[in-house]
Structure 1
Amino acid sequence: MIRRATTLTWLLMLLAYCPSITALDEPPVDELAPRIATLLRGWDQPDTPGCSIAVVKDGTIIYSGGFGMANLDHSIPNGADTVFRIASVSKHITASCILLLEDEGVLTLDSDIRKWLPEIPEYDETITIRHLLHHTSGLRDYTSLMRLLEIGDEDLFTPQQTIDLIARQKGLNFSPGEKHSYCNSGYFLLSVICQRVSGKTLRQFADQKIFSPLGMTSSHYHDNHLEVTPKRATGYAEIGEGKYRIHETVLDHVGDGGVFTTVEDLATWTTALGEGRLGANLLQRLQQKFTLNDGEVLDYCLGVVDTRFGGQRMLQHGGGWVGFRTSLAAFPRQGIVIICLGNCSAFQPSRISRQIAALVVEDLVPALLQRPDRATDRRDRTDSSAAAPEDAKEWDHRQVLGRYHSSELDREWSIIDSSGTDVALDGFEGEPLAIAVTGDDLLTVGRWLKMQLIRDEEGAVTGFTIDAGGMSGILFQRIVEQD
């Protein structure tokens, strides 16, 4: 990824470095291949999916290879030229496209997104492009909304339907800049902004500005699920007893994901970033920090997580969608990049990348090699603990029975009688789901969905809001039955 000629640049970017007291021996290049093969022996079988790996040092590929099968139907093995869907590893490429648009003077990162997305509601506070890039917008994640609509990742749901769904959300999870919560909606909307600003789809823009100039002939944003892509890997999921099923998507969304590429092309891309071939400061700008409203500085930059592993600075991002699991990790001081692309949902690319890092990255501290040294996980989490039922006020299940509609989801759910004194949620995921009373006007369905009742001045239940999948405040209003 990085040439020694750019050492000064990297030293300026490195915020702090304290040498470890213990260093691992770096194996010669000719010893690296068998060591990596040992790590991947469980996936290097004629009847399993697998992965492709590339290791780059100072801008030169020192290892590349494939393991397992790209296609089980036709016994086609994975190789360094196999094309994978890289899922969320795409995000830093999307961010790069936005930065290139900024260079053209057609937008700024602090622009109001409604300048190009007028269908998004005018919330109390402005959402900027910068908020989308850092996952601090408060927008609800469309993939989580899809689950509430009972739309799976293998079902058809168009980009326009997704824009409409996001635009129907009357509320945010939080005020822009208040929190960090990973949100695919933001990066998907960046693809829409790119198209409306430039007049080109994100695929066309990236091809013109990035992929074609760099000779990345096996790379593109895959915005047509019917398109044939030579040498592409098929995604798979385990079904038990050593068997697999095809696990692909028909979604044509890009921005939050959607890049198809190879480990060789990604090596070209990361090297070009390090050498400044797409702008002298593009790589540095991808590492821009964001400060939350309370003063906390995030380690999530622009599609890149600035973290530490084994005591060393690491720039990293992972991806997972349908039958693909991917990771890209760079160690700036050492000039090392590790690219790991897998075509099975059970594959663990981050773990493999860390194991390879232990072989090739100098000055790692052995005691710190288990996982990246992130002080906190800033992904928004909800407290799974619930108030004990005895904390709830006297409960009359009849007061909540009825039909409820959400204009944000365009769905109707019902709360129905169950066993005489209990209630259940009907209209979602087939069979009625048991509802538990866990606090004052607080109901839960399993461990993932919370329902907060809304009452009028007389105490009658007029609706409820739900919290689920990192989202909050989605409104359901009671349907008044006509006599």
Structure 2
Amino acid sequence: MNKAYNQTTDVAIQQLFNNLSPNEPGCAYIASFDDGLTFKGAVGLESIEKKRPITTKTIFNLASVSKQFTAFAILLLEQEGKLSLDDSILNYIPSLGAYAEPVTLRHLIHHTGGLVDYMELAEKAGISDKDKLTAEQSLEHLEKYQIADFPVGTKFEYSNTGYFLLSLVVEKASGKSLREFSKERIFEPLNMNDTTIVDGYPTNISIARGYSKNEQEAFEIYESPWEHTGDGAVHTNVEDLVKWGQNFATGTVGGKKLVKRMGEVGPKTSSAGKLIIDNEDYGFGLSIGETFDSHYLEHSGQWAGYPSHFMRFLEEGLTIAVLSNYEDFDSEEYAVKIAEIIIGKSAKK
């Protein structure tokens, strides 16, 4: 692409962020083609208290953008013959109880398992997102509940429980925590050196502070010490997400055949032949987008003071990521606007 395109595009993207203050929480963004052409920047502070500016190296909590890494770990283990997507979850976590026996790993990946969301159970137990909550506590909550939200495979309902349980499956099948497995098998081979999974607090990793606004419209720290992995908890920066995005083209980790499976949606019908109502186009921790007259994979995240959005345009070889440390920031909106500028088409559906 020519120099004029590069300069015009860079200016247009920068202008998207003109309304953001350099003295408040903000965001880092990147849009990078596999050939190296990259547009990136950052606005705002990663710490109001220390007046540290955000850079494209600043580490954020990815929240649910993390789910794709969990699904990828499951596919790696399946590739090695250490599990099958059609295994019952009880093969790995028998304590869940007989009612969960029909629920397979495939159901959990595609959000059709019907298990109650562990966050709801925490709320019922009077535990807020600012209180400490361990994976063991949530597993106990799930073991006591014993009621499905709906018959397995009959409905799509986005579930953090499914991906939390998949992290435990990785641990049982590999003998390593999801943090250790992901570091060894995904992050290090891709040179994602600033990427890790946080599975305990406090942590010594330098992370952008998360913020919300109080009733007086003043910023205050908003972070959660919950220790679950699988549904969230990957911490990284926009630079490392480009390395991850490039793996969708190269298959450096997993191989091209496995990488392609990340965009395969779940079954539209249950094993009983019943049509799944409102089944979204959801693959392996990623949604399948079809706007822009293009085929792409994407996922949003939102947890405490960390909104995030990731997009991977397959044919264009383009990765876009927007990460923020302010609860009400719309990372998806900004990512889509960046895509509109670069691709030159509106995201009309």
1:29 partner amino acid: N
1:157 partner amino acid: L
Asked if the contact 1:61–1:267 (Cα under 8 Å) also holds between the matched residues in 2, the reply is no
1:45 partner amino acid: P
Pick from 134, 156, 176: which aligns with 1:180?
A: 156
Q: Within 5 Å, give how 1:350-429 maps onto structure 2.
A: 350-362=332-344, 364=345, 366=346, 369=347, 373=349
Shift of 1:295: 3.7
What CA deviation, in whole Å up to 9, does each residue of 1:433-473 have, x standing for no partner? xxxxxxxxxxxxxxxxxxxxxxxxxxxxxxxxxxxxxxxxx
Shift of 1:228: 1.1
Shift of 1:298: 4.0
Distance 1:254 1:243 in 2: 31
Q: Within 5 Å, give how 1:56-67 maps onto structure 2.
A: 56-60=32-36, 62-67=38-43
Shift of 1:179: 0.3
Q: What's the C-alpha RMSD, in Å, of the aligned pairs?
A: 1.8
**Cα distance change on mapping 1:303 and 1:27 into 2, 3 Å:** farther
User: What residue number does 2:45 align with?
Assistant: 69
Distance 1:240 1:37 in 2: 31
Shift of 1:27: 6.9
Pick from 223, 228, 245: which aligns with 1:253?
A: 228
Answer yes or no: is 1:274 the counterpart of 2:256: no
User: What residue number does 2:312 align with?
Assistant: 330
Q: Which structure: greater strand fraction? A: 1
User: What residue number does 2:108 align with?
Assistant: 132
Distance 2:35 2:142 in 1: 41
Distance 2:308 2:228 in 1: 18
User: What residue number does 2:202 align with?
Assistant: 226
Shift of 1:124: 7.2
Answer yes or no: is 1:319 the counterpart of 2:301: yes
Distance 1:305 1:271 in 2: 18
Q: The residue matched to 2:290 in structure 1 has which SS? A: strand
**Count of aligned pairs between the two proteins:** 341
Distance 2:172 2:130 in 1: 28
Shift of 1:248: 0.6
Shift of 1:59: 4.8
1:229 partner amino acid: I
Q: The residue matched to 2:95 in structure 1 has which SS? A: coil
**Cα distance change on mapping 1:214 and 1:124 into 2, 3 Å:** closer
Q: The residue matched to 2:106 in structure 1 has which SS? A: helix
Distance 1:74 1:350 in 2: 28
Asked if the contact 1:189–1:255 (Cα under 8 Å) also holds between the matched residues in 2, the reply is yes
Answer yes or no: is 1:115 the counterpart of 2:91: yes
Q: The residue matched to 1:289 in structure 2 has which SS? A: coil
Answer yes or no: is 1:239 the counterpart of 2:221: no
Asked if the contact 1:123–1:171 (Cα under 8 Å) also holds between the matched residues in 2, the reply is yes
Shift of 1:174: 0.8
TM-score, scaled to structure 1: 0.68
User: What residue number does 1:45 align with?
Assistant: 22
Pick which of 32-41 and 100-109 moved more.
Answer: 32-41
Q: Which structure: greater helix fraction? A: 2
User: What residue number does 1:105 align with?
Assistant: 81
User: What residue number does 2:65 align with?
Assistant: 89
Alignment gaps of 5+ in structure 2: none
Distance 1:234 1:57 in 2: 29
Q: The residue matched to 1:270 in structure 2 has which SS? A: helix
**Cα distance change on mapping 1:145 and 1:335 into 2, 3 Å:** same
Asked if the contact 1:27–1:360 (Cα under 8 Å) also holds between the matched residues in 2, the reply is no
Shift of 1:242: 5.0
Asked if the contact 2:246–2:317 (Cα under 8 Å) also holds between the matched residues in 1, the reply is no
Q: The residue matched to 2:93 in structure 1 has which SS? A: coil
Answer yes or no: is 1:344 the counterpart of 2:333: no
**Cα distance change on mapping 1:75 and 1:145 into 2, 3 Å:** same
Asked if the contact 1:53–1:66 (Cα under 8 Å) also holds between the matched residues in 2, the reply is yes
Distance 1:91 1:197 in 2: 18
Pick from 142, 147, 158: which aligns with 2:123?
A: 147
* Structure 1 stretches of 4+ moved >4 Å: none
Asked if the contact 2:86–2:104 (Cα under 8 Å) also holds between the matched residues in 1, the reply is yes
What CA deviation, in whole Å up to 9, does each residue of 1:155-182 have, x standing for no partner? 1111101111111122101111100101
1:36 partner amino acid: I
**Cα distance change on mapping 1:59 and 1:144 into 2, 3 Å:** farther
Alignment gaps of 5+ in structure 1: 1-25, 374-483
What CA deviation, in whole Å up to 9, does each residue of 1:64-121 have, x standing for no partner? 2211111100111111100000000000011001111111111010111101101011
**Cα distance change on mapping 1:79 and 1:61 into 2, 3 Å:** farther
**Cα distance change on mapping 1:243 and 1:33 into 2, 3 Å:** farther
Asked if the contact 2:298–2:312 (Cα under 8 Å) also holds between the matched residues in 1, the reply is yes
Shift of 1:150: 2.0
Answer yes or no: is 1:263 the counterpart of 2:245: no
Distance 1:256 1:31 in 2: 38
1:62 partner amino acid: T
Shift of 1:33: 2.9
Distance 2:4 2:148 in 1: 51
Of structures 1 and 2, the one with the larger relative CO (CA 8 A, separation 6+) is 2
User: What residue number does 1:214 align with?
Assistant: 190
